[in-house]
Structure 1
Amino acid sequence: MTTDPKKHQPNPDAAAPHAGGAAPQQAAGQAAAQPGDGTARAGEGTATENHKATGTSQGKAKEKKTYPWWVEMPIILVATMLILGMFNIFVGRLYLIPSESMEPTLHGCEGCTNDRIFVNKLAYLGGKEPKPGDVVVFVGEDSWNTTYVSQRSDNGLIRGLQNAGSMIGIIAPDENALVKRVIATGGQTVQCRPGDPGVMVDGKKVDDSYTMSPLVNPVDPTTGSDACQGEYFGPITVPDDHLWLMGDNRTNSLDSRGHVGDEHQGTIPVENVVGKVSARVLPIDRIGGVAHLDIQQ
């Protein structure tokens, strides 16, 4: 018996068989005759899915946890302290000018409104080193620390709080941090001898237009001169990776000149430099940048 293959080919328009036993032809006829119903059902299915998705999103939103303020506030405070601590350690921090040794560039004295400066700790990254004329904050060597007295408490708890305050920049670090201007660097010879017109580096007078004038304290002509703005010294060849530093208020500054008898002849290792003084940030009437001059031009 020959079977007609056309009778067994599936009808592309036919719907899938239903469990209710409806004839395939009838289902196909309904699908063909009522395309609108099919479209509506498809649309209804999409709407239902969207409704379910919206419901799920709303459910997730409702599931989001909130915390009372007494839980959130400590978290915010700790995060803020960590950020400030990282900034102070790696980027820069504020320092208070305690004395008159850097007048008129930086103002400081007992009982007055002292300058507060921002020190940039990133200035000498990547192999860069301080240059003559830079104003820097550095940690003094042992011979510079004979008069330094720690401000930390003997009480362990209070000392811990002080150290935490130092980390975030509200309390000064427990170190003999000093601020001076770089006069000479490694390999250069610095001096001021009788007959010299001023401080000399490698036989040339350095610019001193930024220094305090007139001199605050008189100079003994038997041991120094007004041109030297203090006592005679040198010649001293600065060791490699060291700096010769002086205050701008030359007759009222205990700087490299006062430590020529120590192991480094008054010079400071470059590694002791904390950073470069970028600006005065307080008081308001003295806000501004700090000049870093090319004093050896």
Structure 2
Amino acid sequence: MPISRLRFLVAASLATALSGCSFPVDQVTSKIMGRETYTMSSEGMEPTIKKGSRVTARTVDGDYVPKTGDIVVFDASKWGVNGFIIQRVIGVPGSTVQCCDPQGRHLLDGRPMDETHLYPNDYREPFGPLTIPTGRLWLEGDHRRISLDSRYRHEELGDGTIPVSDVIGVVELDG
């Protein structure tokens, strides 16, 4: 039997034993395997992630190296939200973000971003340019008109960024 299959069977058996038959096995197994499942509670990431969809995130434990385009789960308590939010990384430490060029595209370090994943015909409000501080991230939803993201938090709380250390997982999308 391959080692990876054996590890899975051991993890599933442990999850079943720990569950007391009342805790979903996939959630415990995912924790053991470094994955966690979340349910999207808003339309803010549509069309990429539909409201009510379940997504799996690879958990990070202080070892997350941010990349533009990552979809992350983060602790939103500093934004006054009890729980977690799922959004896309737009700006990483040291980058400059701005909206918009004459074609309505976001600019990252002065260059237009390829954002074919956005909600169709979504409104984009101008901001920036803003340079992202060391150790922080600028996050936005894919449905920009309704997403309460860094753009909204910039107006409300100052710089609108979150600490990289608040990221608890990176969403893994199929396909």
Q: TM-score, normalised by structure 1?
A: 0.47
Contact 1:135-1:181 within 8 A present in 2 as well: yes
- Change over 3 Å in CA distance of 1:195–1:107 after alignment to 2: same
Q: Which of 84, 92, 100 is the matching residue for 2:35?
A: 92
- Superposed CA deviations along residues 217-273 of structure 1, whole A, max 9, x for unmatched, are xxxxxxxxxxxx322111111011111111111112110000114666011111100
* Matching residue within 75, 78, 92 for 1:185: 92
Partner of 1:106: 49
By how many angstroms is 1:197 displaced?
3.9
Residue 120 of structure 1: aligned partner: 58
- Residue 5 of structure 2 corresponds to none
Confirm or deny: 8 A CA contact 1:190 1:199 kept in the other structure.
yes
- Equivalence for 1:269: 163
1:263 to 1:239, Cα distance in 2 relative to 1, 3 A: farther
Match in the other structure for 2:7: none
Please list, as runs of the form range in 1=range in 2, the aligned pairs for 1:205-220 lying within 5 A after superposition: 205-215=112-122
- Aligned to 2:133, the other structure's residue is in SS state coil
- Paired residue secondary structure (1:252): coil
Give the residue type in structure 1 aligned to 2:94. Answer: G
CA contact (8 A) 2:101 2:107 kept: no
Query: Is the 8 Å Cα contact of residues 197 and 205 (structure 1) preserved in structure 2?
Result: no
Q: CA RMSD in A?
A: 2.8
CA–CA distance in structure 2, aligned partners of residues 97 and 188 of structure 1: 28
Give the letter aligned to residue 121 of structure 2. Answer: P
Higher relative contact order (CA 8 A, sep 6+): 2
Distance (whole Å) between structure 2 residues aligned to residue 104 and residue 193 of structure 1: 21
Look up the match of 2:9: none
Letter in 1 for 2:144: R
Task: Write the distance in 2 (CA, Å) between the matches of 1:182 and 1:262.
Answer: 19
Q: Give the structure with higher Rg (CA).
A: 1
Count of residues in correspondence between the two structures: 157
5+ residue gaps, structure 1, are 1-75, 109-113, 149-174, 216-228, 280-288, 291-297
Q: Which residue of 2 aligns with 1:199?
A: 106
Between the aligned partners of 1:254 and 1:263, the Cα distance in structure 2 is 12
Supply the distance in 1 between the matched residues of 2:30 and 2:97 (Cα, whole angstroms).
Answer: 36
Q: Does 1:250 align with 2:157?
A: no
Separation (CA, whole Å) in 2 of partners of 1:86 and 1:106: 23
Give the Å deviation of 1:278: 1.1
| TM-score, length basis structure 2 | 0.77
Among all aligned residue pairs of Structure 1 and Structure 2, give the percentage whose two residues are the same amino acid.
34
Aligned-partner Cα distance in 1 for 2:34–2:15: 20
CA distance in structure 2 between the aligned counterparts of 1:78 and 1:208, rounded to whole angstroms: 42
Contact 1:185 1:243 in 2 (8 A): yes
- The structure in which a higher percent of residues are strand is 2
Q: Distance in 2 between matches of 1:230 and 1:278?
A: 26
SS where residue 88 of structure 1 aligns?
helix
Higher helix share: 1
1:71: which partner in 2? none
From 91, 114, 138, the counterpart of 2:74: 138
**1:86–1:272 CA distance, 2 compared to 1 (3 A):** farther
